[in-house]
């Protein structure tokens, strides 16, 4: 049986973390270890983690020596720790404190990832799945995160993922070849949107990404979510135009940082794509429009592409 290392980042999570920890214990794939790091919570989160670690030696619990600042920073800290200390893990999964995993999440994700790996000869690989979107009390908001947020499961090539991430990190499973290649930019994490998107780019540029269109977890939405699932519609985006503009600009900035960070590992085509998307806002509108069509820098749906074209052609870096 293959060992899976689960990375769990927590902060002020006492309301929901027990349900998540219980859902890990209930996984049908039993060969896992969970490395949890609490980011200096002021509530009982860390004590709850310690309680589970005392009862089950598959939990490794740490407390950050000082406040790291957010989920992104906590996860990158966990990645660095697990790269150094989890030498026996073959696969790695990201875990949020407030969700609930279905019992077959690890087993089904692992089976799908192994099928993807079979054609890659040891290259980095990542799988993501669908999720049921639920409210604080567990009541269903939407049966499919991918449909709710207007994702296209066919768009998992590097050029697609430069533009938008496919799925939240809590649905991901990656192999060791991918995980060991994840590192932050030299200038720091400011240009990185989130650990999961960055990891997805590593897999897509150096290997492959695939989607298992199966619900494997309940993705809880509440007032303290770092990001959460946002229903996509033109009217919704019009109401949040500044957020949309900032998101597009951030994707271009992240692509520049990715090209600089992985310049020595990327193939010629992948490096050219990352450079092109990263610097697109420096070009005139006609050149930007040609690049969208030539390089396939499209978001997933027609509605998203309308907004993308309007904003991308009018934006300045």
pLDDT, tens only, 110-138 = 999 999 999 999 999 999 999 999 999 99
The confidence band for 96, taking pLDDT boundaries of 50, 70 and 90, is: very high
Name 20's Cβ contacts closer than 8 Å, sequence gap at least 6. 8, 95, 96, 97, 98, 99, 100, 101
Phi, psi of 156 (to 5 degrees): -125, 15
Q: Give the dihedral of Cα atoms 165, 170, 173, 177; nearest 10 deg.
A: 70
Inform me whether the pLDDT recorded for 223 exceeds 70.
no
Q: Regarding predicted confidence, which is higher, 317 or 70? A: 70
Class of domain 4-220: alpha beta
Q: Which residues pair with 8 in a beta bridge?
A: 36, 95
Q: What pLDDT score does 230 carry?
A: 54
The mean pLDDT value of the chain amounts to 91
**161-170, 225-234, 235-244: range with highest mean pLDDT:** 161-170
Inform me whether the pLDDT recorded for 194 exceeds 50.
yes
Choose among 74, 47, 80, 71: nearest CA to 61.
47
Inform me whether the pLDDT recorded for 239 exceeds 60.
no
Q: Residue 115, SS3?
A: helix
Q: What pLDDT score does 298 carry?
A: 84
Integer Cα distance of 74 and 184 in angstroms = 12
Phi, psi of 132 (to 5 degrees): -85, 130
CB 198 within 8 Å of CB 258: yes
In the predicted model, what is the mean pLDDT of residues 98-114?
Answer: 98
Taking the domains of the chain in order of start, what are their residue ranges?
4-220, 234-314
């Amino acid at each position: 049986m293959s060992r899976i290392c689960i990375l769990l980042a927590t902060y002020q999570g006492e309301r929901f973390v027990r349900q998540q920890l219980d859902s890990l214990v209930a996984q049908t794939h039993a060969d896992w270890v969970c490395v949890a790091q609490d980011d200096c919570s002021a509530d009982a989160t860390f004590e709850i983690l310690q309680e589970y670690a005392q009862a089950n030696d598959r939990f490794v619990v740490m407390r950050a020596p000082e406040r790291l600042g957010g989920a992104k920073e906590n996860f990158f800290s966990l990645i660095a720790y697990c790269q150094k200390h989890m030498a026996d893990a073959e696969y790695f999964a990201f875990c949020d404190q407030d969700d609930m995993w279905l019992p077959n999440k690890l087993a089904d994700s692992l089976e799908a990832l192994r099928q993807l790996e079979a054609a890659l000869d040891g290259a980095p690989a990542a799988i993501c799945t669908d999720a049921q979107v639920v409210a604080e009390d567990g009541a269903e908001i939407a049966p499919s995160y991918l449909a709710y947020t207007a994702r296209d499961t066919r768009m998992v090539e590097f050029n697609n993922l430069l533009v938008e991430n496919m799925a939240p990190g809590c649905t991901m499973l990656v192999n060791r070849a991918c995980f060991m290649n994840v590192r932050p930019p030299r200038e720091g994490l400011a240009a990185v949107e989130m650990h999961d998107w960055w990891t997805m780019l590593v897999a897509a540029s150096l290997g492959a990404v695939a989607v298992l269109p199966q619900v494997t977890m309940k993705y809880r939405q509440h007032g303290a979510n770092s990001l959460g699932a946002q229903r996509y519609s033109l009217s919704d985006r019009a109401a949040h135009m500044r957020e949309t503009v900032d998101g597009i600009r951030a994707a271009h900035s992240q692509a520049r940082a990715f090209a600089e960070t992985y310049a020595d590992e990327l193939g010629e085509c992948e490096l050219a794509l990352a450079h092109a998307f990263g610097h697109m806002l420096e070009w005139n509108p006609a050149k930007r429009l040609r690049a969208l069509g030539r390089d396939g820098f499209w978001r997933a749906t027609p509605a998203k592409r309308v907004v993308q074209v309007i904003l991308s052609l009018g934006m300045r870096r």
